[in-house]
Amino acid sequence: MKTMTKGAVALPLNEILAGDCIDVMNALPENSVDLIFADPPYNLQLRGDLVRPDNSKVDAVDDEWDQFASFAVYDKFTRAWLKAARRLLKPNGAIWVIGSYHNIFRVGAALQDQGFWILNDVVWRKSNPMPNFRGKRFTNAHETMIWAGKGENAKYTFNYEALKALNEGIQMRSDWVLPICTGHERLKDDAGDKAHPTQKPESLLHRILVGSTNPGDVVLDPFFGTGTTGAVAKMLGRDFIGIEREEAYRKVATKRIANVRRFDRDALQTTTSKRAEPRVPFGQLVERGMLRPGENLYSMNNRHKAKVRADGTLIGDDIKGSIHQVGAHLEGAPSCNGWTYWCFKREGKTVPIDVLRQQIRSEMAN
């Protein structure tokens, strides 16, 4: 078992803790986890059996753990676990809570009342939802996830570039179309029935963990169920803490996670923000002799050229200034990224100046 000591109390990493999540969380050290993913009871309030048109019974969530006597009882429970969860979060930590129309509005209000700062609500649109058998309401085809920082000023993790890369270069939106958990991913018990009624798809947790944690972060899930959070955390090189009060689910989750293979180090590297990379002034290329004063730079489209000056500025026919200013002027554009616009010539080859910047950055990283 891997543990991390926080104050006097050890943080049990990559373990499934048994018991009521409020008691268990209250016994863990405060300010110790980076992210919480919570899939709490939905309080579905099902009245009687749900049947299909052919009279077969729908395998609905009617378990004891999802039963609450009233909204007031559910709200009291929600406020208690959120309070315990908030205490555990590091100052820059964040929480995701998933729910349906039955509970998510109540959870949203409780989150705000406790001082969490809502960052987004993300709609998980199910590409293969269960139909509405009675035909009396819309097909319930989505769930809502609330993503909130510990407080208004928390510097939460948001891997914008990695999410954009995951979405083929397009900014990730707040509506995610992903299938519900079926097929080989759906865990079965010895009788071949679903091992858990609300097992979440790994794709959902993959997106959440890639987008809002980094390798080595600690992710806590107080309603662990079959351990979807733990399985994906392990794959992605994050540490997890699971809490689950039902022994049968803990057993399923333990077996599942033992069979998960962690991706190798290279696979865990994700696209980072260019803005996070160290700044290299163009003048440094001149100071270090990578480019010589008097040398010509050529625009990427080969239509313009400008001369490098000793102070790291450029001079063109009727303009002088930074690589960005001269590029923008020559293109008649409001702005220009000089690093991707200008090239130099070496041994008959045209080379973007950004190559030299990357060379300096890799030296800085070593």
User: Which span (121-129, 225-233, 317-325, 356-364) binds ligand SAM, by CB under 6 A?
Assistant: 225-233
Strand 117-126 and strand 2-6: the pairing is: unpaired
Shortest reach from residue 189's CB to ligand SAM, in Å: 13
Shortest reach from residue 204's CB to ligand SAM, in Å: 9
Among 68, 74, 147, 223, binds ligand SAM (CB under 6 A): 223
Question: Does residue 65 belong to the site contacting ligand SAM (CB under 6 A)?
Answer: yes
- Please answer whether residues 217 and 35 qualify as being in contact, where contact means their C-beta atoms are separated by less than 8 angstroms: yes
Question: Does residue 100 belong to the site contacting ligand SAM (CB under 6 A)?
Answer: no
Nearer to ligand SAM, 41 or 149 (CB): 41
Question: Does residue 96 belong to the site contacting ligand SAM (CB under 6 A)?
Answer: no
What is the DSSP annotation of 267-330?
Answer: HH-----GGGSPP--HHHHHHTTSS-TT-EEEETTSS-EEEE-TTS-EE-SS-EE-HHHHHHHH
Closest CA to 104 of 146, 154, 140, 158: 146
User: Which span (194-202, 206-214, 258-266, 321-329) binds ligand SAM, by CB under 6 A?
Assistant: 194-202
Question: Does residue 249 belong to the site contacting ligand SAM (CB under 6 A)?
Answer: yes
Q: Where are the beta strands (DSSP E) in 160-260?
A: 175-178, 218-221, 239-244
- Please answer whether residues 164 and 171 qualify as being in contact, where contact means their C-beta atoms are separated by less than 8 angstroms: yes
User: Which span (26-34, 45-53, 243-251, 297-305) binds ligand SAM, by CB under 6 A?
Assistant: 243-251
Nearer to ligand SAM, 249 or 344 (CB): 249
* Cα–Cα dist 256/247, whole Å: 14
Question: Does residue 20 belong to the site contacting ligand SAM (CB under 6 A)?
Answer: yes
- Please answer whether residues 284 and 360 qualify as being in contact, where contact means their C-beta atoms are separated by less than 8 angstroms: yes
- Please answer whether residues 308 and 286 qualify as being in contact, where contact means their C-beta atoms are separated by less than 8 angstroms: yes
Shortest reach from residue 48's CB to ligand SAM, in Å: 21
Contact set with ligand SAM (CB under 6 A): 20-21, 39, 41, 65, 196, 198-200, 223, 225-226, 228, 243-246, 249
